[in-house]
Amino acid sequence: MGTLIKDGKVVSAQATTLADVLIEGEKIARVAPGIGAAGHAVVDAAGMLVLPGGIDVHTHLDMPFGGTVSTDDYEWGTRAAAIGGTTTVIDFALQSMGHPMTEAFRTWRAKAEGKACIDYALHMAVTDLGPDDEWLDEVDAMVAEGITSFKIFMAYPNVLMVNDATIFKLMQRTAKLGALVCVHAENGTVIDVVVQQALATGNTGPLYHALTRPVEAEAEAVHRVVAISEIAGGASVYIVHVSCEESMREVAAARARGLHVTGETCPQYLLLSLEDHMGKPGFEDAKFVFTPPLREKKNQAPLWQALKDNVLQVVSTDHCPFRFADQKTLGLGNFTRIPNGAPGIENRMQLILHHGVNAGRISLERFVELTAEAPARIFGMYPRKGVVAAGSDADIVLWDPSAKYTITAAGQSMNTDYSIFEGFAVKGNARQVLSRGECIVDGGKFVGRVGRGRYLRREVAGQ
Ligand code: URP
Ligand code: ZN
Ligand code: ZN
Q: Is the pLDDT of residue 463 over 90?
A: no
User: Residue 248 Cα, ligand 2 centroid: separation in angstroms?
Assistant: 15
Considering only CA atoms, which residue is closest to atom 3 of ligand 1?
291
316 lines ligand 1 (CB under 6 A): no
Give pLDDT, residue 327: 98
Mean pLDDT for 243-251 is 99
Contact status, residue 184 vs residue 152, Cβ threshold 8 Å = yes
Ligand 1 atom at minimum distance from 58 CA: 9
Mean pLDDT for 62-86 is 98
Best residue among 320, 327, 335, 337 to mutate for probing ligand 1, ranked by most atoms within 8 Å of CB = 320
Q: Mean pLDDT over all residues of the chain?
A: 98
Q: Which ligand is nearest to the CA of 92?
A: 3
Give pLDDT, residue 111: 98
* Ion ligand 2: protein residues whose beta carbon lies under 5 Å: 184
Best residue among 123, 183, 290 to mutate for probing ligand 1, ranked by most atoms within 8 Å of CB = 290
Mean pLDDT for 222-239 is 98
Ligand 1 atom at minimum distance from 340 CA: 1
Mean pLDDT for 18-38 is 98
Considering only CA atoms, which residue is closest to atom 2 of ligand 1?
341
Q: Is the pLDDT of residue 284 over 70?
A: yes
Pairing mode of beta strands 41-44, 3-11: parallel
462 confidence band (pLDDT: 50, 70, 90): low
Q: What is the percent of the chain where pLDDT is above 70? A: 100
289 lines ligand 1 (CB under 6 A): no
Q: What is the pLDDT of residues 396-432, one digit of tens each?
A: 999 999 999 999 999 999 999 999 999 999 999 999 9
Q: Is the pLDDT of residue 187 over 90?
A: yes
User: Residue 345 Cα, ligand 3 centroid: separation in angstroms?
Assistant: 12
For residue 309, count other CB atoms closer than 10 A to its CB.
Answer: 10
Q: What is the percent of the chain where pLDDT is above 90? A: 99
Q: What is the pLDDT of residues 356-408, one digit of tens each?
A: 999 999 999 999 999 999 999 999 999 999 999 999 999 999 999 999 999 99
User: Residue 78 Cα, ligand 1 centroid: separation in angstroms?
Assistant: 18
338 lines ligand 1 (CB under 6 A): no
Best residue among 154, 265, 340 to mutate for probing ligand 1, ranked by most atoms within 8 Å of CB = 340
Contact status, residue 75 vs residue 45, Cβ threshold 8 Å = no
Considering only CA atoms, which residue is closest to atom 8 of ligand 1?
291
User: Residue 343 Cα, ligand 3 centroid: separation in angstroms?
Assistant: 11
Give pLDDT, residue 230: 98
320 lines ligand 1 (CB under 6 A): yes
Q: What is the pLDDT of residues 134-161, one digit of tens each?
A: 999 999 999 999 999 999 999 999 999 9
Pairing mode of beta strands 396-406, 425-435: antiparallel
Q: Is the pLDDT of residue 250 over 90?
A: yes
First to last CA, the chain: 39
Give pLDDT, residue 289: 98
User: Residue 49 Cα, ligand 1 centroid: separation in angstroms?
Assistant: 32
341 lines ligand 1 (CB under 6 A): yes
Ligand 1 atom at minimum distance from 60 CA: 5
Q: What is the pLDDT of residues 32-61, one digit of tens each?
A: 999 999 999 999 999 999 999 999 999 999
Ligand 1 atom at minimum distance from 290 CA: 1
213 lines ligand 1 (CB under 6 A): no
Give pLDDT, residue 376: 98
Q: Which ligand is nearest to the CA of 316?
A: 3
Q: What is the pLDDT of residues 94-125, one digit of tens each?
A: 999 999 999 999 999 999 999 999 999 999 99
Q: What is the pLDDT of residues 3-13, one digit of tens each?
A: 999 999 999 99
184 lines ligand 1 (CB under 6 A): yes
